[in-house]
Amino acid sequence: MVEVTKESKYMDLLNEYPLLKTDLVHRNHQFKFLVTPMGKISLWESNLEEVSKRADMSVEETVSLFQNLIDSY
């Protein structure tokens, strides 16, 4: 089982768990940008702390969302 932290790399998680792309958008419409080609380029090296700012969520909410979705797979 993967432990998701604020230092977890966004693209590493998306590459490991492809379903995250659609599931994130269903949970928060702000993730729509993050899964576009431009969003992927701009966040290529970003961690979840940086992603949380783009998604307009707290770091804790973002980490929890990712962890819950990953645990559900």
Summarize pLDDT for 11-35 with one digit per residue, the tens: 999 999 999 989 999 999 989 988 7
Is residue 38 in a domain? Answer: yes
Please tell me what DSSP assigns to residue 58: -
> What is d(CA 48, CA 40) in angstroms, rounded to the nearest whole number?
13
Helices 20-27 and 59-72, axial angle in degrees (round to 10): 130
| pLDDT at residue 9, as a whole number | 96
Is residue 31 in a domain? Answer: yes
Question: Are 6 and 48 in contact, with CB atoms under 8 Å apart?
Answer: yes
Is residue 66 in a domain? Answer: yes
| pLDDT at residue 37, as a whole number | 86
Is residue 2 in a domain? Answer: no
Is residue 4 in a domain? Answer: no
- Which residue range(s) make up the domain with 60? 10-72
Q: What is the DSSP string of 3-42?
A: PP-TTSBHHHHHHH-TTHHHHHHHH-TTHHHHTSHHHHHH
Q: Considering its fold, how many domains does the chain have in total?
A: 1
